[in-house]
Structure 1
Amino acid sequence: MADHHAVKDDNYPSEKTEFDLNEKATHADGDVTLKEEQENSPIEAVSAVVPITDDPSLIIITFRFWILSFIFTALGAVIQQYYFFRTVAGNYSIFFVNLVTYSLGKGMARLLPTNKITIGSYAMSLNPGPFNIKEHAMIGIAVSSGAGAAYAIDILSATDLFLGFRINAFGSLAMVITTQCVGYGMAGMLRKYLVYPASMVWWSNLVQVVFYNTMHNTDEFKRIRLVRGWTRMKFFWVVAACCFLYQLLPQWIAPVLIYFDWVCWIRPFDKNFWALFSSTSGTAGILSLSFDWSSIGGATMYLPLAAQLSAYGGMILNYWIILPIIWMNNILGAKAIGRPLSSKLYHEDGSPFNITKVLKADYSVDWDKYEAGPSANMAPLYALGFMTSFIALAGCCSHVAFFHGAELWRSWKRVVGDHDEDIHTKMMKVYPEVPQLWYAIFYVIMAIIACVVCELYGTQLPWWGLLLSLFVGWFLTLPIGVMNAVTGYGPGLNVITELICGYILPGKPIANMTFKCYGYMAMYQCNFLLSDLHLGHYMKIPPRSMFVGQLWGTLVGSVFNYLTMLLIIDSQREALTGRKPDPNGLWTGNRVQIFWGSGLIYGALGPAKMFSLTGKYWFVYIGFLIGFFIPAIQWALSKKFPKYPWAKINIAIIAQGMGNFSNGYAVGVVSSITAALVFQGYLFRYHNNWWKKYVYILSAALDTGAAFTGLVIFLFLGGGISPKMAVEIPSWWGNYRSDDLEKVNELNRPNYPYLDVNRCGAADPAMWIPGTTDL
């Protein structure tokens, strides 16, 4: 991470506020007289873009908030859950939401009457005044809380698709809501450690702060002029429009630009070239390029360079160095399964392993049947992915303890002594805090409901197992939260929770998936909601409004996640299970298969059998030792040689990067590294004023333009609203697809693989005919 220092800045004018800054004189009307120098954040990027002004009189929870947040949370939950089952995931951008809700909010402020609606003793005006920046931000926060694909849908989908077991509507909704909400109570109780300290930046929030202030043209942003004298708003719209038009090229007209696997063109029909240089379908993607901004992302422009290089270094180590060694030497039978990356289980000869043949009526494993047949094996890179997960988790805890332990101790002492050093924390003291008891009671209620769900709805997980999973989430959330807040990266708990449950409840795949879901989501949702709490902190949104908005968004999203899952599974069951290939290549259920594959490895067969010290995959446990000792060695070296930035070499982030392509689509590494080096390696260091002035608004504009392109293609050009509206580009060298069954007959078959969209063929052209092989 770049070194930061305190910045003194008088560019921010005084506004109406009710808190005291640097012993300023506060007048009766709320105006303040600033001293010559203002206190600001010690983090350079924060002080550059986050205003230190506030207007506590703004109304936030309004009729407009309820309507707009409901519509866009429901829409986002449907779209993201829809993409969850698709071959390639899409993006429901929060910038798209913010743009549209800004226009709609302004329109509602002009058109709605000022009449009041009354519900019991509660009254609310339909139009309380102008659509303001805090109201707008609160809508975005509510939407981000619920407009995703709920993790519990993985359990419900896997059991339905692969076991034919469907939990009823009440139990399913209770599971989705509790998994989404249990981390909410944790976030509230940890906010004094992960939201209030100045060092807890949560980097992606800075882009949204710039975005909201640009949209509402606040005083701090009115005076800033960019290239050609443009305002930030004009610059944003011009860049977003250009990106929108450009993205039509890779996303619709010439998909070859998404997977630009140029090395494959040297030997297009060589299977080893395909395995190493193709970037799709479970291959390594060495030196592959991507000209699709969605594959690169705006985060490359502002996340700390050291963290990004650690992540990309891990990707290169695993997929460009280790994978070729394993594949070319056929280590652990890599070539038998046909592809380097796969989440499925296989027999020794490469034939698929069918778990249903060895299950009892209660979906637990019949060990006599299993032992009577050939054993299950996994792809070597998939096994290595478990090892890197252990490295990432142990490395995160160790790195935070050695390099941030003292800082956490100081933070704890500040909390106990009720002393906060961050200027934004001081500003927030004007608003009533949410009592810790509220969050604690909410957490207990969610935990109790979760225990009932586990006991009543055939999850195989007893109530004490559920409580153990929540304890694991509690125990590891703090170090992971620190790393997320400081670097923008952090490991998950999915693998460690699988491991623990695999030992205590072997042979029970549904129990393992449930244990993992609650343990993982307790941490994940907690961190996600903490990030939004910090955005509210920057935007000066009252904590009690945040409490209402986040909970509302989470509940709405959960309901629509479940309804979308039912519609897709009932209509695409054959394609999602792989029993009948989708002729268009759009529905694969790949993410459900990965989740189910892990459930088989850890839940059905269990780590004691799959990772036995006398078996093939014993090496995965070495990850714990590597993750713990490397930060300890670095810390010792930092004391011996303090001039070197030892803390910036983060083994947890390196290991996380090594496991980044478990879905089998190794896209965008070279392009992302290039963007990171240009913006964080060069411009941040040598043109810092330009970087501070442009990077966040440029990132927001590019991500917004790309998101709009994806949405337009999905809704209109791709026939999302109606197949009759679909517009297909005629086949040409930039968009040939191997999943088009008609082309198999029309084209000369030996040349057909070279006409795939990523231009990678294979040794046996027959394997490219859909449905002829598992490959």
Structure 2
Amino acid sequence: MSDVKQEINEESAPENTLDLNEKGDSSVDSSIEVDEKENSPIEAVRLAVPVTDDPSLPVVTFRFWIISLIFTALGATIQQYYFFRSTYGAFSIFFVNLASFSMGNAMARWLPTKKWTIFGQVLSLNPGPFNIKEHALIGVAVATGANSAYAVDILSATDLYLGFRINALGSLLLIMTTQCLGYGMAGMLRKFLVYPSEMVWYSNLVQVAFFNTIHNTEEYKQIRLVRGWSRMKFFWIVAAICFVYQFIPQWLAPLLVYFDWICWINPFNMNVWALFSSMSGAGILSLSFDWTSIAGQTLYLPLNGQLCWYGGIILSYWIIMPIMWITNTLDTKTLKRPLSARLFHEDGTMFNINKFLTKEHTLNSTLYDASPPVRIAPMYAIGFMTSFIALSACFSHVACFHGAEIWASWKRTVKSKDEDIHTRMMRVYPEVPQSWYAIFYIIMVALSIVACELYGTQLPWWGLLLSLFVGWALTLPLGVIQSVTGYSPRIMGLTELICGYALPGKPIANMTFKCYSFFNYMTMILIIDSQRPALNGEAPDRHGLWTGQRALSFWGSALVYGALGPQRMFALDGRYWFVFLGFAIGIIAPIILWLLSKAYPRIQWSKFNIAVIAGGMGIFPNGYTVGVFSSLVVSLIFQYYIFRYHKTWWTKYVYILSAALDTGAAFTGLIIFLFIGGGLSGSLNAKVPSWWANHYVEDNRSYPNYPYLGVDRCGAADDKWTGGTL
């Protein structure tokens, strides 16, 4: 039994059947009640996923192809745009689901219904009403394609920091292969990461609730919410309220996004700035009133996973970092940047790697070794250590607390036995052969080798195969952790380390190693060409809108592991020797918890997930510690208080409420981007007049909030501190 199941069952005794009405409406079809008795063993699944299905509904239709292509292109463009923005925004899948619902119904009304027979197959542009399965498949397609491709990190970093641009064909091949290799792996591992009932994947439950609500399936028709509203009416009202509200923090009053109220006590004190600023410091007790900084997942992800995650953040950034800053441990204060992925000289000035690279972008070891060693922000080094803790703890935790489940799932898979009603219902559909996924994967491997060998990635064919082997070794345990907790540690640290030893002095190879959509590429080129000085740090952005921090984090790791190498940076006689202790800590800590669970079985030791805790500890290499406290408060309200003491309310409202809030916020972000922020045209870029919550002062200075360092009113823009310095 998974720790998620234990948490849900032990925190609140569930009812035998799904209570669809607050007053105990008994009008539910009895056949559904019978099916519930053999439903999923996970209560969250029983509450959100119906036990009905109609196999006759058409799925892969003309409408699917057109709508998914439109939204994938739009989403990929917007997500790549936000990749370079100082504040993060998202192309919400809930917006896609709503808009595609309207488009699908419109096409069902207007398209011709004539049928054609081609190669024995009956085809039609309009096979009937727009249905729930067709709609869900559009959501799946857009969710996988409408994002910022991971390979763009490579292309952005090499362009911004090396002045080296891989040509269009090589770039597109690199993007395509890094994206598609994962699909082949996912298909071959689906029997272990999808089919077992223990593999919940909680973020999908809110999608299930959404689709059943909007298509008004039989089970959901009977549900009535506050004031007798249908779920659809409730959804639209809440989404509209959130849509209107979000204009305040996202446009009218950005101070509400970074509400660092403690900073206002002494805004130009360096200690106060480093500890309480959420834009560049630890963000202790900082608030955020922007829903995109909180997100709907805080309402439904398992409480123990969220507490582990936020507990790791608090331990690292609210406890360890302040101690290191005040004591100047490892020159934390000397570098003057508590959180940064940049490299520095001993006096705190920026390190420029280009002075030590050959024309092939490989490190000149003789020249570098003759100069003083570089420094990294100590919290950045701790982030490397916690990534190793998370990775090794992932394996150790899964082996200790989920090993029996995985072994049982393996045996069930070999014997072809189903686990619950949902798996049995899927058997009516023909299975995609494993060989198809394997052939697809092999083709992508071949194309990946071509991309690496021909387009200057510094990664030889054998290095690529090594990276793929690492990916296979890590996917299963990481997938298990994410499916049962909602969180997953990042694997970049280990992959960077392996490549650093295998291919020393090659930063591009290191980035390529850890990576292993055309609209991503085009958007990236347009933005880099127009905003290069702001993105690579040559000059601050006058309006505070653009940043290369995400590419910088990727590039910083490539320098530490690739160009300079772990041999130098993490040597036993060096400053950052402690990084490798992460492997031992990650392996030993879950074993200790497992032994404690045997000695003291009444305490649920499995809930102390070291992998998730460590993942939270290293989540902010570049600052922007925004939304932590607000998210924790929301999580405790919904996942502790309401779930425990108002279970019926939680059951009926939480998933649709989460979907409505995220959808409203997504609409706001899209409108601001397209029609107010200049997304469609520069003439549409409307600037809000300066006032208290949007302190916009623009003079001959380079900062929009001078004399403050950022919109959070914390820190001295001109480096004239009133206290807290060395």
**Alignment TM class, shorter chain as reference:** over 0.9
Name 1:403's counterpart in structure 2.
Answer: 401
1:668 aligns with 2:627: yes
1:567 aligns with 2:520: no
Q: Which amino acid aligns with 1:753?
A: Y
Name 2:24's counterpart in structure 1.
Answer: none
1:120: Cα distance to partner? Answer: 7.8
1:71: Cα distance to partner? Answer: 0.2
Structure 1 CA distance for aligned equivalents of residues 717 and 525 of structure 2: 40
Name 2:151's counterpart in structure 1.
Answer: 152
| Cα displacement string for residues 621-668 of structure 1 (whole angstroms, at most 9, x for unaligned residues) | 111111110100110111111111000011111111111212310011
1:65 aligns with 2:67: no
1:753 aligns with 2:708: yes
Cα pair distance change 1:512/1:33, threshold 3 Å = closer
Structure 1 CA distance for aligned equivalents of residues 411 and 182 of structure 2: 25
Cα pair distance change 1:662/1:213, threshold 3 Å = same
Structure 1 CA distance for aligned equivalents of residues 701 and 333 of structure 2: 28
Cα pair distance change 1:746/1:599, threshold 3 Å = closer
| Cα displacement string for residues 648-704 of structure 1 (whole angstroms, at most 9, x for unaligned residues) | 011111111111212310011111111111101111111111111110000100111
1:41: Cα distance to partner? Answer: 1.0
Structure 2 CA distance for aligned equivalents of residues 457 and 729 of structure 1: 45
Name 2:283's counterpart in structure 1.
Answer: 285
Judge conservation of contact 2:696–2:704 (CA < 8 Å) in 1.
no
Residue from 8, 11, 17 that aligns with 1:3: 8
1:638 aligns with 2:597: yes
SS in 1 for 2:123: strand
Structure 2 CA distance for aligned equivalents of residues 119 and 361 of structure 1: 57
Judge conservation of contact 1:6–1:41 (CA < 8 Å) in 2.
no
Judge conservation of contact 1:7–1:42 (CA < 8 Å) in 2.
no
Number of aligned positions between the proteins: 705
Name 1:310's counterpart in structure 2.
Answer: 308
Calculate the aligned-residue CA RMSD, in Å.
Answer: 2.1
Cα pair distance change 1:732/1:765, threshold 3 Å = farther
Name 1:24's counterpart in structure 2.
Answer: none
| Cα displacement string for residues 219-255 of structure 1 (whole angstroms, at most 9, x for unaligned residues) | 1100000000000000000000011111111111111
1:764: Cα distance to partner? Answer: 5.7
Structure 1 CA distance for aligned equivalents of residues 388 and 530 of structure 2: 38
Q: Which amino acid aligns with 1:3?
A: I
Cα pair distance change 1:744/1:142, threshold 3 Å = closer
Q: Which amino acid aligns with 1:9?
A: T
Q: Which amino acid aligns with 1:758?
A: D
1:10: Cα distance to partner? Answer: 7.3
Q: Which amino acid aligns with 2:293?
A: S
Structure 2 CA distance for aligned equivalents of residues 47 and 682 of structure 1: 21
SS in 1 for 2:425: helix
SS in 2 for 1:124: strand
SS in 1 for 2:708: helix
Structure 2 CA distance for aligned equivalents of residues 149 and 119 of structure 1: 37
Judge conservation of contact 2:51–2:422 (CA < 8 Å) in 1.
yes
Name 2:99's counterpart in structure 1.
Answer: 100
Residue from 655, 665, 677 that aligns with 1:706: 665
SS in 2 for 1:337: coil
Q: Which amino acid aligns with 2:324?
A: I
Judge conservation of contact 2:544–2:703 (CA < 8 Å) in 1.
no
Structure 1 CA distance for aligned equivalents of residues 207 and 366 of structure 2: 57
Residue from 329, 335, 338 that aligns with 1:337: 335
Q: Which amino acid aligns with 2:472?
A: W
Name 2:239's counterpart in structure 1.
Answer: 240
- Name which of structure 1's ranges 121-130 and 697-706 shifts more when overlaid on structure 2: 121-130
Structure 2 CA distance for aligned equivalents of residues 763 and 235 of structure 1: 46
Cα pair distance change 1:247/1:745, threshold 3 Å = closer
1:468: Cα distance to partner? Answer: 0.5
SS in 1 for 2:653: helix
Cα pair distance change 1:39/1:402, threshold 3 Å = same
- Name which of structure 1's ranges 57-66 and 447-456 shifts more when overlaid on structure 2: 447-456
Q: Which amino acid aligns with 2:214?
A: M
1:650 aligns with 2:609: yes
SS in 1 for 2:333: helix
Q: Which amino acid aligns with 1:625?
A: A
1:319 aligns with 2:332: no
Structure 2 CA distance for aligned equivalents of residues 132 and 483 of structure 1: 33
Structure 2 CA distance for aligned equivalents of residues 605 and 145 of structure 1: 35
| Cα displacement string for residues 118-163 of structure 1 (whole angstroms, at most 9, x for unaligned residues) | 8887663111110000000000100001000001011111112222
Name 1:41's counterpart in structure 2.
Answer: 40
1:722: Cα distance to partner? Answer: 1.4
1:303: Cα distance to partner? Answer: 0.7
Q: Which amino acid aligns with 2:496?
A: E
| Cα displacement string for residues 341-364 of structure 1 (whole angstroms, at most 9, x for unaligned residues) | 010001101111111111112111
Judge conservation of contact 1:6–1:40 (CA < 8 Å) in 2.
no
With normalisation by structure 1, the TM-score equals 0.88
SS in 2 for 1:579: coil
Judge conservation of contact 1:10–1:36 (CA < 8 Å) in 2.
no
Structure 2 CA distance for aligned equivalents of residues 641 and 128 of structure 1: 60
Name 1:79's counterpart in structure 2.
Answer: 78
Judge conservation of contact 2:296–2:661 (CA < 8 Å) in 1.
yes
1:464 aligns with 2:462: yes
Judge conservation of contact 1:510–1:603 (CA < 8 Å) in 2.
yes
- Name which of structure 1's ranges 661-670 and 70-79 shifts more when overlaid on structure 2: 661-670
Structure 2 CA distance for aligned equivalents of residues 383 and 649 of structure 1: 24
Q: Which amino acid aligns with 1:369?
A: L
Q: Which amino acid aligns with 1:425?
A: T
Q: Which amino acid aligns with 2:48?
A: V
Name 1:414's counterpart in structure 2.
Answer: 412
Please give the residue correspondences for 1:659-738 in structure 2 after superposition, counting only pairs within 5 Å.
Answer: 659-737=618-696
Judge conservation of contact 1:114–1:128 (CA < 8 Å) in 2.
yes
Judge conservation of contact 1:390–1:495 (CA < 8 Å) in 2.
yes
Please list every run of 5 or more consecutive structure 1 residues that lacks an aligned counterpart in the other structure: 13-30, 519-557, 769-775
SS in 2 for 1:490: coil
Structure 2 CA distance for aligned equivalents of residues 32 and 330 of structure 1: 67
Judge conservation of contact 2:35–2:51 (CA < 8 Å) in 1.
no
Structure 1 CA distance for aligned equivalents of residues 109 and 700 of structure 2: 54
Please give the residue correspondences for 1:586-597 in structure 2 after superposition, counting only pairs within 5 Å.
Answer: 586-597=545-556
Structure 2 CA distance for aligned equivalents of residues 400 and 143 of structure 1: 31
Structure 1 CA distance for aligned equivalents of residues 267 and 31 of structure 2: 70
1:453: Cα distance to partner? Answer: 1.4
SS in 2 for 1:9: coil
Structure 2 CA distance for aligned equivalents of residues 111 and 386 of structure 1: 56
Judge conservation of contact 1:8–1:40 (CA < 8 Å) in 2.
no
Judge conservation of contact 1:307–1:487 (CA < 8 Å) in 2.
yes
Name 1:226's counterpart in structure 2.
Answer: 225
Structure 2 CA distance for aligned equivalents of residues 745 and 603 of structure 1: 34
Q: Which amino acid aligns with 1:358?
A: F
1:574: Cα distance to partner? Answer: 2.5
Residue from 352, 355, 359 that aligns with 1:354: 352
1:162 aligns with 2:117: no
| Cα displacement string for residues 355-385 of structure 1 (whole angstroms, at most 9, x for unaligned residues) | 1111112111111111222221100010110
Please list every run of 5 or more consecutive structure 2 residues that lacks an aligned counterpart in the other structure: 21-29
With normalisation by structure 2, the TM-score equals 0.94
